[in-house]
């Protein structure tokens, strides 16, 4: 009896392609995506893009910069576009703007005079000569990586400066060296200086090393300042509202667009199309409704974030409207296309679940894209999620003006139009037989 029940269930599953896909293809697809995201990094930390502004121009700062260049985990840039030789170096202001715009997560400013006293064991008395670390707090990992590697670079790239400064501290703490000790110390310091000079003449990339990290609280005084996301918790709410919101919008939109399939099954679609309603009118009507539904869903989600998690919603209304409507339009069109391509609700359920979860994984709804490898980040640009999240981040996180939203707006509207036009073409199969 039990065998008969098992056989019946197995036969049913074998003939239900939708369930089969959900049972086997979805887990494999997900496993593969996360394997690529996390496993494809070969146990290395992804490169952190870092702007360094050297206002000091001292041998110590040059050595430090050289040491940072040599770190394999850092991608150090000193001017906006390295291909354009004529481009001026970053200044403190342009570096801060780049962090705010999300171009890089971290910038280091080496102030003038830093080379005089590059290290401090008990923190620096002269805050003006401390290295400034400007960071975007949406990326919690990058500043820690930079901070640790900065300490390491200091130790490995400027040993003479370290030793010289160390001797000053030693003299100050223990009353100085004997003449014999001083002679030996000076001889070794001269060797270290020679060594630094020789390395200055070599290309920076010749000494690439792997990162081992040094940890926080090193001997190079660093003043860390968040230039974006000062209210980190509140702004992370906006990130998750957008990330989770877009994923569920996609589910809702495809489910709502599936009413077309219900209407086809019930014969209502035939009846409607036999009236004065054309297929284009019908699809446009459904698209409008689904866009409004998705926008309402987003609004409720952000209002909930405002009411419960103190999300700064009302100061970002224009940006929210722009990004909300564009996102809602794109996801609605996505739902229309899926519904028009599928032949049954069950098929729609399986295909939409598969696609939406994959898009959400790649597009940053489940895991921030900036923590993914470069190739996966690029793949994410093929998803609605990535563009929508980027846009909402610009509005709520970076406080960028509406004009800065044009790439996201253009892409989302473009995606929406292309998907809707494709859906209209596919829906021709419903028009006539």
Partner 1 sequence: MPSAVNELSAVAALPVEVAGLLKRFGNLTALDGVSLRLEPGQCLGLLGPNGAGKSTLIRAIVGRVLPDSGQVRIFGAEAGTAAARQSLGWIPQELAIYPRLTCRENLVSFGKYQGLSSARLAEQVAWCLKWAALEDRAGDPAGKLSGGMKRRLNMAAGIIHKPRLVLMDEPTVGVDPQSRNRIFEMIEHLRSEGMSILYTTHYMEEAERLCDRIAIIDHGRIIAEGSNEELVRSAFGTRSEVTARFTGTQDAIAAWVEQRGGRLSEGTAQFTVTRPAEIAPLLDEASTRGIGIEDVSLRRPNLESVFLHLTGRELRD
Which helix H or strand E contains 107, and what residues bound it?
strand 106-110
For residues 413 to 432, the per-residue mask of contacts with partner 1, x marking binding by CB under 8 A and - elsewhere, is -------------------x
Compute the distance between CA of residue 172 and CA of residue 143 in angstroms, rounded to an integer.
33
For residues 206 to 235, the per-residue mask of contacts with partner 1, x marking binding by CB under 8 A and - elsewhere, is ------------------------------
C-alpha distances in Å from residue 59, one per residue of 69, 121, 199, 216: 15, 21, 12, 24
Angle at 246 between CA 239 and CA 342, to 5 degrees: 160
Compute the distance between CA of residue 135 and CA of residue 158 in angstroms, rounded to an integer.
25
CB of 249 to partner 1, least distance (A): 22
CB of 273 to partner 1, least distance (A): 7
The reply on whether position 344 binds partner 1 by CB under 8 A is no
Would you say the C-alpha torsion 170, 176, 181, 184 has a positive or negative sign? Answer: positive
CB of 418 to partner 1, least distance (A): 28
Compute the distance between CA of residue 331 and CA of residue 323 in angstroms, rounded to an integer.
12
Compute the distance between CA of residue 116 and CA of residue 417 in angstroms, rounded to an integer.
60
C-alpha distances in Å from residue 217, one per residue of 110, 213, 241: 17, 12, 34
Shorter beta-carbon distance to partner 1: residue 82 or 433: 433
Shorter beta-carbon distance to partner 1: residue 8 or 268: 268
Among 266, 280, 363, 408, binds partner 1 (CB under 8 A): 266
Compute the distance between CA of residue 326 and CA of residue 333 in angstroms, rounded to an integer.
11
CB of 236 to partner 1, least distance (A): 39
C-alpha distances in Å from residue 328, one per residue of 36, 44, 249, 362: 29, 38, 8, 19
CB of 243 to partner 1, least distance (A): 32
Shorter beta-carbon distance to partner 1: residue 184 or 277: 277
Name the one range near partner 1 by CB under 8 A: 123-131, 160-168, 264-272, 391-399.
264-272
Of residues 267-286, those binding partner 1 (CB under 8 A): 267-268, 270-277
Name the one range near partner 1 by CB under 8 A: 12-20, 115-123, 260-268, 390-398.
260-268
- Cβ atoms of 359 and 385 within 8 Å: the answer is yes
CB of 431 to partner 1, least distance (A): 8
For residues 301 to 340, the per-residue mask of contacts with partner 1, x marking binding by CB under 8 A and - elsewhere, is ----------------------------------------
Compute the distance between CA of residue 397 and CA of residue 405 in angstroms, rounded to an integer.
13
Q: Which residues bind partner 1 (CB under 8 A)?
A: 266-268, 270-277, 432-433
């Amino acid at each position: 009896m039990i065998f008969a029940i098992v056989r019946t269930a197995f036969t049913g599953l074998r003939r239900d392609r939708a369930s089969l896909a959900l049972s086997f293809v979805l887990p494999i697809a997900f496993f593969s995506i996360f394997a690529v995201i996390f496993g494809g990094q070969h146990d290395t930390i992804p490169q952190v893009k870092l702007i360094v502004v050297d206002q000091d121009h001292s041998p110590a700062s040059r050595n430090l910069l050289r040491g940072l260049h040599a770190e394999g985990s850092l991608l150090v840039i000193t001017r906006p576009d390295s291909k354009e030789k004529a481009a001026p170096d970053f200044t403190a202001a342009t570096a801060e703007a780049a962090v705010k715009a999300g171009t890089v997560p971290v910038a280091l400013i080496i102030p003038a005079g830093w080379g005089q006293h590059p290290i401090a064991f008990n923190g620096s008395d002269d805050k003006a000569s401390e290295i400034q670390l400007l960071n975007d707090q949406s990326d919690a990992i990058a500043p820690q990586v930079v901070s640790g590697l900065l300490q390491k670079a200091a130790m490995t790239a400027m040993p003479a400066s370290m030793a010289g400064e160390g001797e000053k501290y030693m003299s100050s703490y223990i009353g100085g060296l004997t003449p014999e000790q001083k002679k030996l110390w000076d001889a070794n310091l001269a060797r270290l200086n020679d060594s630094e000079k020789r390395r200055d003449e070599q290309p920076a990339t010749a000494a690439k090393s792997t990162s081992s990290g040094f940890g926080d609280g090193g001997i190079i005084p660093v003043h860390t300042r968040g230039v974006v996301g000062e209210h980190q918790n509140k702004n992370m709410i906006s990130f998750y509202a957008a990330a989770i919101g877009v994923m569920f919008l996609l589910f809702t939109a495809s489910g709502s667009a599936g009413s077309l399939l219900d209407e086809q099954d019930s014969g209502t679609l035939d009846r409607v199309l036999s009236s004065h309603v054309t297929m284009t009118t019908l699809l446009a009507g459904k698209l409008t409704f689904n866009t409004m539904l998705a926008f309402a869903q987003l609004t409720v989600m952000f209002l909930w974030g405002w009411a419960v998690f103190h999300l700064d919603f009302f100061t970002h209304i224009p940006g929210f409207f722009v990004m909300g409507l564009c996102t809602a339009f794109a996801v609605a069109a996505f739902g229309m296309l899926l519904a028009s391509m599928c032949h049954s609700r069950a098929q729609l359920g399986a295909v939409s679940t598969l696609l939406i979860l994959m898009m959400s994984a790649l597009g940053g709804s489940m895991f921030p894209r900036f923590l993914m490898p470069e190739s996966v980040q690029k793949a994410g640009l093929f998803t609605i999620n990535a563009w929508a999240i980027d846009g909402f981040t610009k509005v709520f996180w970076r406080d960028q003006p509406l004009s800065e939203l044009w790439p996201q707006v253009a892409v989302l509207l473009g995606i929406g139009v292309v998907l809707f036009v494709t859906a209209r073409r596919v829906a021709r199969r419903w028009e006539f037989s």
